[in-house]
Amino acid sequence: MDDLIADYPVIGKRSPEEQARILRDLGDDETADALMASRPATETKSIFGGGMGLPWSPKPWGHTSHSFGFLPQAGTADPPLLPLYHAGQIKPDLSLRGAGVTIRLDSLRLADYPGSGVHRVLFDFSAVNTIGPSQAEHLHYNATFRAREGEEAAVVGLPIFVDLNVGDLGLAFKCATVNVANEGSQRALDMLDSDLVKSGLQLAKTAQPAIGPLSQIAIGLTKAILGVNKNVPVQEFTLGLDFDPVATGARLREGAYFAVQVPSLAGWDWSQWLWHPSRGCLISKADPKALCPWNYIIFRVSRNPAK
């Protein structure tokens, strides 16, 4: 899978000076001023060359960690609030090895993205389709969404990959979101609003000549968007879902996976968060009225019916 944003790191990995420049380009002088004012006069350097001890607490978009949670398939008599689990806590479904699955996007929450108002977001998702013992297709999918700051994009159940083949080792994904503020880039993204794109990539058990060119078009579009002023990646993660019984990884089974952009993995505990099915949102167990204050993405894995 291509690492598209290797040359364009997410905003959280950039220096305070570059973050402030991006914020000013987006018209957020207030946050840029607060960022620069919080820096100490003399910055302590680590042995790796980075700054240490910066007192400014980054906004949700400033974090680079992600925690991965899992919500099992819902039954017909589920309680009002559903518990979540770390993706390494669950048992793998071994029957999915070699099966076909569909990957859907169920939620994209913009708790806080750079700038303000309504955001235009490029969603970039890639995976590998196993089509034989030594053959695989590298897949790429783009979609675009608009959402106001602090809200969710109007999306649920959007097919990304249809009939994705699970390999012996499971599945692996790369995902990135790009905050697109350049007007020219926004016009280029209009093509992603078509019904053809929203139907997802239809896959098969044999190699498909059209998949490669389609994925290359998606890759080219993402690279073009990233290379334009005012456009900046916000979230980035790689997730492998496997069948190993080792708690440090993430298991594959049917259900919904949550990728939450958090300040620190040490401070995040999935047992303290619940899914509210009637409201369709992630809430705090301690305060059910409080929504999750971090950016997150939810995608769903479901087995395809036998043909």
Task: Flag whether pLDDT at 182 surpasses 90.
Answer: no
**H or E segment and range at residue 23:** helix 16-25
Task: Flag whether pLDDT at 305 surpasses 90.
Answer: no
> What does pTM read for this prediction?
0.86
Q: Which of 288, 235, 238 is nearest to 111 (CA)?
A: 235
| Residue 145 or 199, more confident | 145
- Contacts with 107 (C-beta within 8 Å, 6 or more apart), sequence order: 152, 153, 155, 156, 280, 296, 297, 298
pLDDT reported for residue 21: 93
Please write the tens of the pLDDT for every residue from 220-263.
778 778 888 889 999 999 999 999 988 899 999 999 999 999 99
* Separation between Cα atoms, residue 59 and residue 41, nearest integer Å: 22
pLDDT band for position 264 (50/70/90)?
A: confident
- Contacts with 11 (C-beta within 8 Å, 6 or more apart), sequence order: 19, 22, 61, 62, 114, 179, 232, 233, 234
Of 4-8, 96-100, 269-273, which gets the smallest average pLDDT?
Answer: 4-8
* Separation between Cα atoms, residue 11 and residue 231, nearest integer Å: 10
Task: Flag whether pLDDT at 192 surpasses 80.
Answer: no
pLDDT band for position 179 (50/70/90)?
A: very high
Please write the tens of the pLDDT for every residue from 276-304.
988 899 999 999 999 999 999 999 999 98
pLDDT reported for residue 206: 39
Please write the tens of the pLDDT for every residue from 48-94.
444 444 446 679 999 999 999 999 987 655 678 899 999 999 999 99
